[in-house]
C-alpha cells in the first residue's frame, strides 16, 4: 500500500473495461461484443475518409484544440431542438456543455455539487454503475434505493424518506437514466411526478444515453426546471464510442458551472471533428436504428417463448433477461454468461439478470443460438 494515497481508495478496484483491440489482440474476430451497448456499426467509410481528410488538411496537431467548442455546441443545440420536436427553437449553445464522454460530465457535476462534504447522491439500483463509482473516488457518499421487481419503478417511498432524512451530508443529486440501463425501462409517471416535485437545492440528472432508441426525452422541460440536467452521448446511436463525446443540456447558469469545472481542453480536435461530422450526417447514421429495433423485437419474442426466461420490454438497444424461477439464480446466470463467453459472445452479467446488446443481424442470430444451446444443457427450473 502506497503511504501517500487517500486511505479510502485502497478498497476500490479499477473499473474493468471489456477487452479492447488496443491491446493488439484481434478481439473483433474473437468475440461478438454485446456487453457495452455500443452500435454494431462502424462509421461508414466515406465519413471516415472525410474525417481523415480533415485530419490531414485542417487539424494542426501541434495546436491545442478549440477549448470553447462553439461550433460543436451550436450543432448540438440544433439537434436537441430538432429532437425535442419543438416548433420554435428553445436551446442555444448557452444551454450545452460538452464532455470527454458523459462520464466526464458526471464527474464534473459531482465536483460542482457534493465535494467538501456538502452533499451525497441518490441512485436506484440496478442502474448505470458510473454514478456510484465516480462519487466514491471523490469521497462522496452514495445512498441507494431499490426498484419494484416487476416494472422496475424506483422505490419511491424509500427515495422520499432518504431525501427527507436529516442525514449529513444531505442528498444533493438524484441520478436517473431514461430509459434505464440495465433494465431498459423509461421513467414512469409516478417517478416523473416525484422528480418534478424535488426542491431547487436538489439537482436532478436525467441520463438520456439511449434517447435515439427510445425517442422519449424530457429536454423540453429544461426551460422550466433550473435544477434539471439532461445528459446525452455520441457513444451509442451515433457510433462514436471511440471518440469520447457526451453533452449536457441545462439552464445556462448550470452550464456555466460545468464550463468552470471542466478541464480547458477536454476534447481532442479529432473528437470534436468526428462529433460534428456525425451530426451533419445524422440521417445516415441514425438510419440503422429501425433495424436494431426490429431485431430487438424478434429477439425478445423468440426468447420469451422459453419457459425459463423472462424478458422485459425494452426502449433501448439492449435487452434485460431474468430467470423465471431457479434454485440458484446467480449460479445459473453465471453459467449462462460463461457458456456464451466460451462460444464467443460477450454479454453483461448482473446480480439478478443478463444484459445483452442488440448487435448486427448475424451477431443476434448467434446470440439466440448460443443462449438456446446453453439453456438446453441446463436442468430446467
Ligand atoms: C453508455 C452510457 C453512457 C455513455 O457514457 P460515455 O462516457 O458518453 O461513453 C452514459 N450513461 C449511460 C446510462 C450509459 O449507458
Give the H/E segment covering residue 247.
Answer: strand 246-250
Confirm or reject: Cβ of 214 under 6 Å from ligand 1. Answer: no
Confirm or reject: Cβ of 269 under 6 Å from ligand 1. Answer: no
Residue 150 in any domain: the answer is: yes
Segments in the chain forming alpha helices (H): 27-30, 45-57, 70-83, 101-113, 130-137, 156-164, 189-197, 211-214, 252-261, 269-280, 282-286, 289-304, 329-342, 361-376
Same domain, 140 and 245: yes
Using the 3D structure, point to which of 285, 300, 323 is the last residue of a domain: 285
- Residue located nearest, by CA, to atom 11 of ligand 1: 209
Q: Which of 15, 36, 103 to mutate to test the pocket of ligand 1 (most atoms within 8 A of CB)?
A: 103
Residues 94-103 have pLDDT tens digits of 999 999 999 9
Give the phi and the psi of residue 115 in degrees, each rounded to 5: -60, 170
Ligand 1: centre distance to CA 235 (Å):
7
Ligand 1: centre distance to CA 109 (Å):
15
Residue 149 in any domain: the answer is: yes
Residues 283-307 have pLDDT tens digits of 999 999 999 999 999 999 999 999 9
Ligand 1: centre distance to CA 103 (Å):
7
Ligand 1: centre distance to CA 264 (Å):
22
Ligand 1: centre distance to CA 85 (Å):
23
What mean pLDDT comes out for the span 146-160?
Answer: 97
Confirm or reject: Cβ of 99 under 6 Å from ligand 1. Answer: no
Question: 212-221, 270-279, 327-336: which range is least confident on average?
Answer: 327-336
What mean pLDDT comes out for the span 157-170?
Answer: 94
For the cut 90, the answer to whether the pLDDT of residue 328 exceeds it is no
Confirm or reject: Cβ of 37 under 6 Å from ligand 1. Answer: yes
CATH number, domain of 299, equals: 3.90.1150.10
Ligand 1: centre distance to CA 318 (Å):
13
Residues 16-72 have pLDDT tens digits of 766 555 555 555 568 999 999 999 999 999 999 999 999 999 999 999 999 999 999
Same domain, 358 and 247: no
Same domain, 279 and 295: no
Q: What is the per-residue burial (b if ≥16 Cβ within 10 Å, else e) of 187-209?
A: beeebbebbeebeeebbbbbbbb
What mean pLDDT comes out for the span 203-209?
Answer: 98
Same domain, 175 and 217: yes
Same domain, 163 and 25: no
Ligand 1: centre distance to CA 114 (Å):
21
Residue 238 in any domain: the answer is: yes
Same domain, 307 and 265: no
Confirm or reject: Cβ of 246 under 6 Å from ligand 1. Answer: yes
Residue 93 in any domain: the answer is: yes
Residue 53 in any domain: the answer is: no
Same domain, 293 and 276: no
Confirm or reject: Cβ of 235 under 6 Å from ligand 1. Answer: yes
Number of Cβ atoms within 10 Å of the Cβ of 73: 20
pLDDT at residue 139, rounded to an integer: 96
What mean pLDDT comes out for the span 177-204?
Answer: 98
Same domain, 296 and 278: no
- Residue located nearest, by CA, to atom 13 of ligand 1: 128
Residue 36 in any domain: the answer is: yes
CATH number, domain of 219, equals: 3.40.640.10
Using the 3D structure, point to which of 255, 285, 315 is the last residue of a domain: 285
Same domain, 130 and 227: yes
Using the 3D structure, point to which of 221, 251, 285 is the last residue of a domain: 285
Alpha-carbon span 179 to 188, nearest angstrom: 10
Ligand 1: centre distance to CA 165 (Å):
30
Ligand 1: centre distance to CA 128 (Å):
8
Look at the chain and report how many structural domains it folds into: 2
Closest-lying ligand 1 atom to the alpha carbon of residue 177: 13
Alpha-carbon span 23 to 356, nearest angstrom: 24
Same domain, 278 and 302: no
Residue 2 in any domain: the answer is: no
- Residue located nearest, by CA, to atom 3 of ligand 1: 209
pLDDT at residue 12, rounded to an integer: 79
Residue 1 in any domain: the answer is: no
Confirm or reject: Cβ of 128 under 6 Å from ligand 1. Answer: yes
Confirm or reject: Cβ of 39 under 6 Å from ligand 1. Answer: no
Same domain, 21 and 69: no
Same domain, 322 and 369: yes
What mean pLDDT comes out for the span 127-133?
Answer: 97
pLDDT at residue 140, rounded to an integer: 97
- Residue located nearest, by CA, to atom 12 of ligand 1: 209
* Domain hosting residue 339, numbered range: 7-43+288-374
Alpha-carbon span 272 to 228, nearest angstrom: 25
Counting every residue, how long is the chain? Answer: 381
Cα dist. 129→103, 136, 139, 144 in Å? 11, 11, 16, 12
Amino acid at each position: 500500500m502506497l503511504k501517500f494515497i487517500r486511505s479510502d481508495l485502497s478498497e476500490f478496484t479499477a473499473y474493468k473495461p471489456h477487452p479492447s483491440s488496443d491491446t493488439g489482440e484481434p478481439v473483433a474476430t474473437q468475440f461478438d461484443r454485446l456487453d457495452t451497448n455500443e452500435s454494431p456499426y462502424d462509421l461508414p467509410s466515406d465519413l471516415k475518409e472525410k474525417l481523415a481528410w480533415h485530419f490531414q488538411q485542417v487539424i494542426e496537431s501541434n495546436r491545442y484544440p478549440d477549448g470553447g467548442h462553439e461550433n460543436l455546441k451550436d450543432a448540438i443545440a440544433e439537434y436537441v431542438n430538432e429532437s425535442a420536436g419543438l416548433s420554435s427553437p428553445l436551446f442555444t449553445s448557452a444551454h450545452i456543455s460538452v464532455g470527454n464522454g458523459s462520464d466526464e460530465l458526471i464527474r464534473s457535476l459531482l465536483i460542482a455539487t457534493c465535494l467538501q462534504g456538502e452533499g451525497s447522491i441518490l441512485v436506484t439500483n440496478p442502474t448505470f454503475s458510473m454514478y456510484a463509482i465516480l462519487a466514491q473516488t471523490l469521497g462522496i457518499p452514495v445512498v441507494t434505493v431499490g426498484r419494484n421487481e416487476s416494472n422496475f419503478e424506483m422505490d419511491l417511498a424509500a427515495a422520499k424518506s432518504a431525501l427527507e432524512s436529516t442525514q449529513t451530508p444531505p442528498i444533493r443529486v438524484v441520478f436517473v437514466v431514461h430509459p434505464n440501463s440495465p433494465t431498459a425501462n423509461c421513467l414512469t409517471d409516478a417517478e416523473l411526478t416525484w422528480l418534478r416535485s424535488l426542491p431547487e437545492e436538489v439537482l436532478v440528472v436525467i441520463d438520456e444515453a439511449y434517447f435515439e432508441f427510445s425517442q422519449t426525452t424530457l429536454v423540453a422541460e429544461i426551460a422550466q426546471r433550473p435544477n434539471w440536467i439532461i445528459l446525452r452521448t455520441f457513444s451509442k446511436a451515433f457510433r462514436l464510442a471511440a471518440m469520447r463525446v457526451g453533452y449536457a443540456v441545462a439552464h445556462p447558469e448550470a452550464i456555466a458551472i460545468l464550463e468552470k469545472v471542466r478541464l480547458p481542453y477536454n476534447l481532442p480536435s479529432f473528437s470534436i471533428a468526428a462529433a460534428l461530422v456525425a451530426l451533419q450526417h445524422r440521417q445516415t447514421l441514425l438510419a440503422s436504428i429501425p433495424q436494431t429495433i426490429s431485431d430487438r423485437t424478434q429477439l425478445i419474442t423468440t426468447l420469451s417463448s422459453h419457459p425459463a426466461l423472462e424478458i422485459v420490454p425494452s426502449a433501448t438497444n439492449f435487452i434485460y433477461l431474468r430467470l423465471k424461477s431457479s434454485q440458484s439464480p446467480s449460479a445459473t446466470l453465471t453459467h449462462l454468461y460463461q457458456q456464451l463467453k466460451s462460444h464467443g459472445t460477450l454479454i453483461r452479467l448482473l446480480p439478478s439478470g443478463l444484459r445483452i446488446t442488440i448487435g448486427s443481424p448475424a451477431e443476434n442470430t448467434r446470440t439466440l443460438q448460443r443462449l438456446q444451446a446453453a439453456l438446453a444443457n441446463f436442468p430446467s427450473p
